[in-house]
Amino acid sequence: MVTTPLKHCYAKIALAIALALFVGADSFYSGRCTPKPRAVFLGITYGCELLEHSEEGHGILHWVRVELSAPGIDLYVTPLDPSALAGGFQYRLRWIDDVLRREGLAVVINGALFTSEPRWRPGLPGDLAKGVETVVSDHVTSHIWEHTYLLWFDDALNAHLRPSKPPRAEDLRKAKWGIGGQGVGLQGGRVWSGSDRKPNKRTAVGIDAERKLLFLIVAEWASPRVLLEQLSKLGARDAMLLDGGGSSAMAIGEGGRNPVRGTLLGGWRPVATFFGVKARRIDEP
């Protein structure tokens, strides 16, 4: 017998899939784009654009620029879950809107690759999960995977992204926050010439370490090359992709000055790790 909470979870997943199939990707999100960039929290600017149809993508692209030196800015990476650790796992799957609300975040995106149990059905909130790539949450390293490229931040929120793997021991000792990715496709402002041109739902992060800027970006349907080029245009110097496909999602918290809030893209697949930003409201002292 299926319990009421499980029925609600299945219903949410089924509704999202049905809407996407019925109205098409572009129209489903096209009403949720305010193209003029605007400050939404202190130190956080949001913008989006509608990509023209091409072989490398189409639809909505949402982005956020974070001034890491702004007052009140802090980061969030999903911590290890004690109940999951007791069972030989690391996390429990969660919805992005639940994380946004419960953690008091200004903006949040999905994080690193993961696996979950059971595997015979779509993941549901509360399912046990393990991370594939290394992440760091408040100085606690999840594990070390040899193929992880790690974007990490020290106590002063200085950003670091080395184009090599695995993470160095000295970096992990200094890291307060860190999120693992799948290769540094943007280096020194230049997109790698071999970047994949196959479109899908995508999530990526970028930085300008010298100016202490962080960029978060999600695309409804775009190739890695398109996403990295967009990050470069926004001012990122180095960037990498995170988990994508059905995991790709972005949400903006209540209290900001953006008329579009809540889950902007994705959100129908619960995931294991999230990467978010805490910030003050613009009118907050």
Type of residue found at 236: A
- Give the integer Cα–Cα distance in Å for 242 and 250: 12
- Give the integer Cα–Cα distance in Å for 39 and 48: 13
- pTM, two decimals, is 0.89
> What is the tens place of the pLDDT at every residue in 61-70?
999 999 999 9
- Smallest CA-to-CA distance from 175 within 215, 213, 204, 137 is with 137
Any idea where the domains of the chain sit in the sequence?
A: 26-278
- Give the integer Cα–Cα distance in Å for 116 and 118: 6
Do 148 and 131 contact (CB within 8 A), yes or no?
no
pLDDT above 70 for 91? yes
- pLDDT, residue 35, reads 67
- Smallest CA-to-CA distance from 7 within 124, 133, 134, 139 is with 124
Give the pLDDT band of residue 18 (cuts 50, 70, 90). Answer: very low
Give the pLDDT band of residue 26 (cuts 50, 70, 90). Answer: very low
Could you tell me the two tokens for 205?
Answer: 């992060």
Specify the higher pLDDT residue, 256 or 193.
Answer: 193
